[in-house]
């Protein structure tokens, strides 16, 4: 496994980040523990979760599963760069969600308890909070850092100007600010190339793409459909119908290259200069093995150009839509 720095920080993280959203419900706890053990065995040291994972009545369950895994010892916590998130409401009472100083304090302490650890390496804002000023947010994070409960701060689903605004206020306070941004980014979803990625690169913020296979559409969905292994419904089915021609070309190109479609999609992200680590979300150990295999795929300039032809991207703004 290769490693890189998280944004402009000195923190070394693996080029793949283990997403845990499925742990504790789609993947039961024993399987989740096996996946995490296997990830460490492959050299993946970067794990991502969120306080809301588990969802519905089971919010927080995923963090509990990870905490139980840490409790097994064998330096599991020490070998893991742990990232979690806050924003979504964890209850129905006021101040149980978003980014007020009160919720930051309460949500962080609750996550630490579920995770059975005394600090989080990367604490991330799951969404922008338009009602809370950055001065309040950064003051709360400065306290958390001073207490040793948080080491680095990141964002998720931010616009480019949100990153710029956050960093400007942090700089006035002589605070490090953001070191990472989680964004929807893959061959089929490239809107962040307009302004989010340029802003992140300017401010030294590493990009952590989520949904690298676009909900499975880039993972060989047509082949699985033909083999009767997968049947899409709802919005996923509509998306496949809308993009079927491009996906057909993509899967045929993957066959031409001799690689699985999912391997190509992950490898493409790893070739993007702004990307620190795509977030993979395996439900089984076999899916983890497939993602690790993709990390070793090299794409040349001609291949990257062909992929751009199939799934056109964006130039940075404003050139993409103006002179």
Q: Which residues are catalytic?
A: 53
Q: Which two tokens stand for residue 111?
A: 């996550």
Residue 139 burial (10 A CB sphere; 0-12, 13-18, 19+): middle
What gap in Å lies between CA 205 and CA 207, rounded to an integer? 7
The alpha carbon of 7 is separated from its chain's Cα centroid by a whole number of angstroms, namely 14
Q: Is-contact 83 47, C-beta < 8 A? A: yes
Q: Which residues on neighbouring strands pair with residue 287, listed in sequence order?
A: none
Q: Which residues on neighbouring strands pair with residue 152, listed in sequence order?
A: 122
Residue located via tokens 């302004």: 195
User: Angle 113-115-116 (CA atoms, 0-180°, nearest 5)?
Assistant: 65
Q: Is-contact 107 86, C-beta < 8 A? A: yes
What gap in Å lies between CA 228 and CA 130, rounded to an integer? 45
């Amino acid at each position: 496994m290769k490693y890189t720095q998280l944004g402009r920080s000195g923190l070394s993280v693996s080029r793949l980040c283990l997403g845990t959203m499925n742990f504790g419900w789609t993947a039961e706890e024993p399987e989740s523990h096996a996946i995490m053990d296997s990830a460490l065995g492959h050299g993946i040291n970067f794990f991502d979760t969120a306080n809301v994972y588990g969802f519905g009545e089971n919010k927080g369950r995923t963090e509990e599963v990870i905490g139980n895994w840490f409790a097994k010892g064998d330096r599991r916590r020490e070998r893991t760069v742990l990232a979690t998130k806050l924003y979504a409401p964890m209850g129905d009472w006021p101040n149980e969600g978003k980014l007020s100083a009160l919720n930051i304090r309460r949500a962080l302490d609750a996550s630490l308890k579920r995770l059975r650890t005394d600090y989080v390496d990367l604490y991330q804002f799951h969404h922008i909070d338009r009602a809370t000023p950055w001065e309040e947010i950064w003051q709360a994070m400065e306290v958390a850092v001073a207490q040793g409960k948080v080491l680095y701060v990141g964002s998720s689903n931010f616009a480019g100007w949100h990153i710029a605004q956050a960093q400007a206020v942090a700089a006035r306070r002589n605070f490090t600010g953001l070191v990472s941004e989680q964004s929807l980014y893959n061959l089929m979803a490239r809107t962040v190339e307009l302004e989010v990625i340029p802003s992140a690169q300017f401010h030294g913020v590493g990009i952590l793409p989520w949904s690298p296979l676009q909900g499975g559409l880039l993972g060989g969905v047509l082949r699985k459909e033909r083999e009767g292994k997968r049947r899409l419904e709802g919005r996923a089915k509509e998306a496949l119908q809308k993009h079927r021609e491009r996906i057909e070309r993509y899967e045929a190109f993957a066959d031409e290259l001799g690689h699985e479609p999912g391997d190509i999609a992950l490898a493409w992200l790893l070739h993007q200069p702004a990307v620190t680590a795509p977030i993979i979300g395996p439900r089984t150990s076999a899916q983890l093995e497939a993602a690790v295999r993709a990390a070793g795929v090299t794409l040349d300039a001609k291949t990257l150009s062909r992929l751009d032809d199939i799934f056109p991207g964006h130039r940075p703004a404003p050139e993409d839509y103006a002179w």
